[in-house]
Amino acid sequence: MTRSGRLRARRAATGSVREGTARAGLVARGVIYLLVGALALRIAFGDGGRPADRSGALEEISTKPFGAVLMWALGAGLVGMALWRLSEALFGAAGRDGRTARTRLLSAVRCVFYACVAYSVLSFAAGAGGTTSSDQQSQDVTARALEWPAGQWIVGMAGVGAVVVGVWIAVGAVLRKYREQLKLGEMSRQVRRAVDTTGVAGGVARGLVFATAGAFAVRAAVDYEPDRAKGLDDTLRSFSETPLGPWLLACVAAGLVLFGVFSCAMARWGRV
């Protein structure tokens, strides 16, 4: 085989590995959102036994047949997600703006996030103990940050950033920006319609959760009270305290389930 032939073969193999890790990561993300959404639905209808966050999802998996195997598979998929985002940060992502500095930076942030999530899932699978709830983690991080010089400003700006990200996610979903990352030509009209339903509803719900959690962080900074910061579980439960009651929580929870389905659809038809 010539040198150019070997180079092409190596690129093809590397591309296949990258695609495989990306698709496995998207499925793993989808499973987590499906479980969190299902737990939040149970809370909305009066069953608040497990927290509606990653720790609750892992506890739910651990009670199922072959739960340990499923957790290891989930952790491996999240490692794949982190590696995919790392490759995007280093070499660029798919799409028109895939090689811009903004896209690479966003991929680097996502890489760190999914690496941390993968570590917590694999630690749980290895029997290192249960994961700390998202609410406790948020309060602990906020308390430490408030003790730093200009801590209130840092926490406040982080909260504002989360609100902006949430609005960006929701608006992008309504405008169907995700279509730029889909192989629309391989999808039938019915499939496109179904994916749009999950993408829009799921994206809006996910954005609303991000923005609400950010608003709680801003309030914690303004009041200088770490306990006002809320993780995913308390953020979701707060929707049931609105005038719409548990129905708003049920709608958001259903949206998170739909985002889980959308993530799995991205694993099948996404450009990675």
pLDDT digits (tens, 9 = 90+) for 237-247: 888 888 887 89
Query: How far is 123 from 75, CA to CA, in rounded Å?
Result: 9
Nearest to 71 by CA among 4, 9, 130, 133: 130
pTM of the model: 0.84
pLDDT digits (tens, 9 = 90+) for 90-140: 887 766 777 788 888 888 988 998 898 888 888 888 875 555 666 777 888
Between vectors from CA 220 to CA 215 and to CA 221, what angle results, nearest 5°? 100
